[in-house]
Amino acid sequence: MKKIILASASPRRKEILSLTGLNFSVCVSDYIEDLNLPLRPRALAVHLSRKKAEAVAHRHKDSIIIAADTFVLLNNTLLGKPRNDKEAEKMLRMLSGKAHSVITGFTIMDTGSAKKISRSAETKVYFRKLGREEILAYVGTKEPLDKAGAYAIQGLGAVFIKRIDGDFFNVMGLPLFALTESLKKFGVYVPGKR
């Protein structure tokens, strides 16, 4: 089987891909994301994932590259990762009591054959109303600082979520169902080989 490369610095994506039992290496993409490109949200997520994959593809001959990009969409406003506590507080106040979408674009690329698939997944997340003190307390944990939308569904942020519609792993940063279905087109099956 070809070498599989995860083009991501995200520990969450690494954790999710590890659930498949696939052997893979991590190679961080140096592509700088720009959420201000004039594209619709799902197209933007796919575009960013494709650019991340392309940025590492030249370093790995005859390999399968997996790259992804995730952000939160609230009323046509894209929320990426907050840069500081103030931005995290602002994002959490915006999400309080509302539903939002978590959109992930992913690209799988075979550097040997140049075959490429890009897809997106969307999960609806419903937040309960948040009090000012709990927002401040949560931001004080520093958990929100490297998370799209300033929360972690797999961490303390889970207590803010009433329900989700869609793939839980997508909210973490990698839509496992859609990814593993797409990997079959590259001869990669989970679990095991065929």
Residue 40 pLDDT = 95
State the 10-residue block means of pLDDT for the chain, 194 residues long: 92 94 94 89 96 95 96 94 96 98 98 96 98 97 94 96 97 96 94 60
Provide the CATH topology of domain 3-186.
Maf protein (3.90.950)
**pLDDT score recorded for residue 34:** 87
Out of 62, 69, 110, 167, which one is annotated catalytic? Answer: 69
User: Which DSSP state fits 121?
Assistant: E
- The token duo for 173 is 């940063």
Catalytic site includes residue 110:
no
Residues 17, 66: contact at Cβ < 8 Å?
yes
Say what angle helices 132-140 and 85-95 make with each other, to 10 degrees. Answer: 140
What are the extents of the domains in the chain? 3-186
From CA 61, how far away is CA 2, in angstroms rounded? Answer: 10
State residue 168's pLDDT score: 97
- CA torsion sign for 160, 166, 170, 176 is positive
